Amino acid sequence: MAEIAPAYAGVGAHAPNAGALRGDALRERLALLGLSAPAFVLVFVAMVAPVAWLFGLSFLADNGSFSLEHYRRMIEQPSYYRIFLTTFHVSLLTTGICIVLGYPLAYVLSQLPQRAANLCLIAVLLPFWTSLLVRTYAWLALLQRKGLINNWGIELGLWDEPLALVHNLTGTLIGMVHIMLPFLVLPVLGAMRAIDRDYLKAAANLGAGPVRAFWMVFFPLSMPGLLAGSLIVFILCLGFYVTPAVLGGGKVIMVSNQIANDIELFFNWGAASSLGVVLLVVTLLFLYVASRFAKVDQVVGGGHGK
């Protein structure tokens, strides 16, 4: 023991190969950093730089001098207030409907045998494999006054006058829910599949019938997945553009639509930038609040967290 002790006391110059081993460790870390360099560059060029540029633009007046006029306008004009209200309203409704439709769907999938569940999962994911624009226009074809649904409904005598299913909030919600549903189902399903069946057996053994076992054990254990899925859907909804533009018919104006208008109609980059900045800040704020309740890393990890 006495001979070994000095080596632990401190790694001096006399310790064999200490310098060479430290060098090896450093080289390995540098090599690892080198591998992720392309991704860093890409994120910087495509993300950080444009956002910083937008941020700068939002503080410039038309004549190029520093000004807070874009932000002042947002506070003073009630139309902007309405746009943000609409954005949150639509996002909340979409998230709510996705939960009501998606949670039971994920539950059924989680209870099916693996093979059947995977087949059904493909059906859930199928919309991912077609273009967003195609899907949105497909809904337009289905929902419009002379569309498939109105024609069939009238022919079958379910209703007499064509229903206003599109170019309004209803149409926007139908389209957005359809697009967002997989983003809710996948994390919820992941969380449900990670629930050990022995927990439910234990609940039954201790005296809980199926309904109480679900609410007291299964549902709380699936909560992280549900929170993660809801958060993804809600945040994606906040910045959504295509569906409200096509199915909202100009009646549902969300922040993204206003940004497009500012640039396409008024060439006002400053106003568009300030909207973008506010939307970004609000989204980050939501992520922060959510992170107090749920583990946000599980949002990325798909709810498999252990």
Q: Which residues bind another protein (CB under 8 A)?
A: 196, 198-199, 201-209, 212-213, 216-217, 220-221, 223
Q: Closer to another protein by CB, 153 or 305: give it.
A: 305
Q: Closer to another protein by CB, 64 or 209: give it.
A: 209
| DSSP designation for 9 | H
Minimum CB separation of residue 105 from another protein in Å reads 23
Residue 263 amino acid letter: I
Q: Closer to another protein by CB, 138 or 208: give it.
A: 208
Q: Closer to another protein by CB, 33 or 216: give it.
A: 216
Minimum CB separation of residue 201 from another protein in Å reads 6
51 backbone dihedrals φ, ψ, rounded to 5°: -65, -40
Minimum CB separation of residue 110 from another protein in Å reads 17
Number of Cβ within a 10 Å radius of residue 23: 11
DSSP output for 59-95: TB-TTSSB--HHHHHHHH-HHHHHHHHHHHHHHHHHH
Minimum CB separation of residue 196 from another protein in Å reads 7
Minimum CB separation of residue 213 from another protein in Å reads 8
Q: Closer to another protein by CB, 84 or 218: give it.
A: 218
Cα 267 to Cα 59, 73, 239, 255, 260, distances in angstroms: 16, 16, 20, 16, 10
Minimum CB separation of residue 256 from another protein in Å reads 37
10 Å CB burial of residue 12 (0-12, 13-18, 19+) is exposed
Q: Closer to another protein by CB, 118 or 205: give it.
A: 205
How far apart CA 27 and CA 170 sit, in angstroms, is 59
